[in-house]
Amino acid sequence: MGATGTGDGWTQCAAGHRHWGRVGAAGLLLVAEGSALLQLRAAWSHEGGTWGIPGGARDVAEDAVAAALRETAEEAGVEVPPGAVTGELSIDHGGWSYTTVLARVARRLPATPVDGESAALEWVPLDEVADRPLHPGLADAWPLLRPAAGRRLRLVVDGANVVGSRPDGWWRDRRAAAARLREELAGLRVPGAALPPELGLPALQVWAPETVLVVEGAAAGLAAGPAVAGVRVVAASRTPGHRRGAGDDEVVHVVAAGRAAATDGPDGPDAQLVVTSDRELRRRCADQGVPAVGTSWLRRLLEERRTPGGR
C-alpha cells in the first residue's frame, strides 16, 4: 500500500526500469525468534505470487524508517516501535532507491493481511527465506540482508570519559553535562563504514544501536531519571572491590553481561562496541573480546548529526 501523500506513482530509474514510489520506497525486514515476517504478494499486484516484505512508496515528507513502519502497520496490522529498528540497507538504482529497514522484536507478533495487497503473511525461519519464490528485489538483496537480519549493534559509552574530553565547562555541572550527552545519544545512527572491521558486522549503510550510557559520581542520579529513547543509563555500582574507577568497572560489567546475553539469542550474535579513550579500560574490554573506539569517534558522529542533512 503506498503512502497517502504525493509519493505515490510510477517513476523510471537511470537504467530505464519502472519503480513504484516517486521519491523512493521502503520496506521492513522484521525479525523475531530467528524468523522473518514475509508477505505473499497478491496475484494482481506487481510481482504477484512472490514473497517479499511489507513496504511501499515513501511520502515526500517521510524518511525510510517512518515509511517502512507505516507500511507494515497498514499491510500487516503490526505496530513496530521505532526503537526496534536495527539498521538500514539502501539500494540505489540511479535516481530511485529502495531502503530495507531492519528491525527486531522479542516475539513473533500476530500478523494479518489488512489490505488487498497481501495474500498471506507468515513468519519464516531465516535459513528458509531463500527457499521461497522471492520478489526479485528481495532475492537480489537477501545475500546482503541475511548476515544482518536479527543482529544489533550495542554501544557502551563511558560517560565520564566522553564528557571529560569535551572543552565545554563540563566540570561546572557534571550531571548536566552527562544529561546533555544522553540527549545527544538518543536516536543515534552509525554509518556502517565508521565501524571498526573487527566487529565483524555486515556492511549496512546504517546501524541503529542500542546505547548503554555508564555514569558515575554526581551524574549517577540520571539512571533513575526519565527514559530517553534508545538510551539506557546505568549508574556505576558503589559496592566494594573495584580495582580502578567505579565507572570503569561498571563498563566491564555491562560488556560481560552483554556477551553472556548475546551468545544464547536466536537472532544474534549481537556486536558490542565500547566508547572510551581510557587505555586501561580499552585493554580490559579487549580481554572480553570487545573492541573500543576513542571519544573523538563519537564526537564526530554527534557533530555530523548537528549539521544540515545529518542523522
Instruction: Give per-residue pLDDT as tens, 21-44.
Output: 666 789 999 999 999 999 998 877
pTM: 0.86
Instruction: Give per-residue pLDDT as tens, 32-87.
Output: 999 999 999 887 777 778 999 999 888 888 899 999 999 999 999 999 999 999 99
Residue ranges per structural domain of the chain: 10-145, 153-306
- In terms of Cβ atoms closer than 10 Å to its own Cβ (0-12, 13-18, 19+), residue 37 is buried
236-268: b (≥16 Cβ within 10 Å) or e: beeeeeeeebbbbbbbbebbeebbeebeebebe
Choose among 192, 174, 162, 188: nearest CA to 271: 192
Choose among 89, 310, 30: nearest CA to 189: 310
The CATH-assigned architecture of domain 10-145 is Alpha-Beta Complex (3.90)
List Cβ<8 Å contacts ≥24 apart for 289-296: 289/259, 290/156, 290/255, 290/259, 291/196, 291/198, 291/199, 293/196, 295/161, 295/162, 295/165, 296/165
Instruction: Give per-residue pLDDT as tens, 103-145.
Output: 999 999 999 998 778 889 999 999 999 999 999 999 999 999 9
Which residue is listed with cell 563498563?
Answer: 251
Given a contact cutoff of 8 angstroms between Cβ atoms, the answer to whether 237 and 118 are in contact is no
